[in-house]
Amino acid sequence: MFYLYVLFSSLGKKFYIGSTSDLRKRYTSHLKGENFATKNLKDWKLVYYEAHLSRKQAFHREQSLKKRAQAWRALKKRIIEDKE
């Protein structure tokens, strides 16, 4: 399985979108500050993930969210509504 995931930092009020084949390992590396894009904040929470059958599908979904503002807004709205 491959995963698309979304992290949120309440300190920085930022979201991070990524994809991986090992979600637990990747999440731990974010918390340890081992990733360039997320190393400055250490309070990341996993707020959403999707499982995909192939790396290509997960990566395509990640790129879709990063390039299409409407797709990202729709997902972010779902995430925020679920938190409330």
Q: Where are the domains of the chain?
A: 2-83
Q: Are strands 14-20 and 44-52 parallel, antiparallel or unpaired?
A: unpaired
Closest CA to 45 of 20, 17, 8: 8
Segment 13-22 mean pLDDT:
95
Confidence tier at 83 by pLDDT (50, 70, 90): low
pLDDT tier at 28, thresholds 50, 70, 90: very high
Residues 6+ apart with CB under 8 A from 56: none
Q: Which class is domain 2-83?
A: alpha beta
Mean pLDDT of 32-43: 91
> Is this structure's pTM higher than 0.85?
yes
